[in-house]
């Protein structure tokens, strides 16, 4: 398997899949720190969304907080639009266990009640532990990857497969 993918091509595919499902005047987008925000910035630009991009740091919502504590660099979540009744595209780089998405949705609901949430990810690597599925994924690996997949960025964006054995967290 190729260790590197062309992120630009993957992003183009995501934009293609998303375009029929968004209304640039109404639809809002939220990226999850850190990689999800990078992807969301690219998608937001390409789709020409009018609503400012939202950013989420889910540190305070993680279900493993009491085991692993706080990430040393917590950023402020920033949702610069009213969530109530809004159609939202939630963006992350890699979908793995699904726990991050669960935490992100919990946090979004603390801002208000959206009309809908659509999940778009660059890579769905399989191995889900909770019933979360990506509506849009540029790459689906179905748990085939033994290593860790990491998005490096922000400029340029590179997707890397780290073949070293996965560590506990």
Partner 1 sequence: MSLSTFRFGDGNPQYDAQGRLRHLLNTEGLREPEMLQILDTAESFLSIAQRSVKKTPTLRGKTIVNLFFENSTRTRSTFELAAKRLSADVLNIAVSTSSTSKGESLIDTVDNLMAMQVDGFVIRHPEAGAAHLIARHLGDSALVINAGDGQHAHPTQALLDVFTIRRLAGPIEDRVVAIVGDVLHSRVARSQIHALSILGCPEIRVIGPQTLVPKELSALGVHVYHDLQAGLRGVDVICALRLQKERMESHRLPSLDEFHRRFGLTPERLQWAQPDALVLHPGPMNRGVEIASEVADGHQAVILQQVAHGLAVRMAVLTLLAGAAGGGENHA
Residues that bind partner 1 (CB under 8 A): 57, 59-61, 65-78, 106-107, 109-112, 169
**Backbone φ/ψ region at 158: left (φ over 0), alpha (ψ -120 to 50), beta:** beta
Which CB sits closer to partner 1, 52 or 65?
65
* Identity of the residue, 71 or 140, whose beta carbon is nearer to partner 1 in the bound complex: 71
**Taking the complex as a whole, how short is the minimal distance between the CB of residue 89 and partner 1, in angstroms?**
20
- Smallest gap from residue 139 Cβ to partner 1 (A): 28
Report, in Å, the least distance between residue 85 CB and partner 1: 13
- Smallest gap from residue 80 Cβ to partner 1 (A): 11
Nearer Cβ to partner 1 (68/162)? 68
Distance CA 23, CA 60 (A): 31
User: CA–CA separation, 104 vs 32, rounded Å?
Assistant: 8
Instruction: End-to-end CA distance of the chain: give it in Å, rounded.
Output: 24
In the complex with partner 1, which residue's Cβ is closer, 3 or 74? 74
Question: At a CB cut-off of 8 Å and minimum separation 6, what does 156 contact?
Answer: 7
The closest of 119, 112, 127 to 39, measured between CA atoms, is 119
């Amino acid at each position: 398997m190729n260790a590197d993918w062309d992120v630009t091509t993957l992003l183009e595919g995501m934009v293609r899949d998303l375009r029929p499902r968004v209304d640039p005047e109404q639809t809002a987008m939220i990226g999850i720190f850190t990689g999800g925000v990078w992807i969301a910035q690219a998608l937001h630009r390409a789709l020409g969304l009018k609503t400012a991009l939202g950013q989420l740091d889910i540190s305070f919502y993680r279900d493993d907080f009491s085991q692993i504590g706080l990430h040393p660099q917590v950023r402020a979540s920033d949702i610069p639009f009213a969530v109530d009744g809004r159609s939202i595209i939630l963006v992350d780089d890699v979908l793995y266990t699904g726990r991050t998405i669960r935490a992100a949705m919990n946090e979004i609901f603390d801002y208000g009640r959206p009309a809908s949430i659509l999940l778009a990810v660059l890579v769905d690597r399989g191995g889900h532990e909770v019933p979360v599925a990506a509506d849009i994924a540029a790459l689906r690996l179905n748990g085939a990857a033994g290593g860790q997949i990491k998005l490096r960025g922000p400029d340029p964006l590179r997707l890397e497969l780290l073949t070293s054995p996965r560590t506990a967290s």
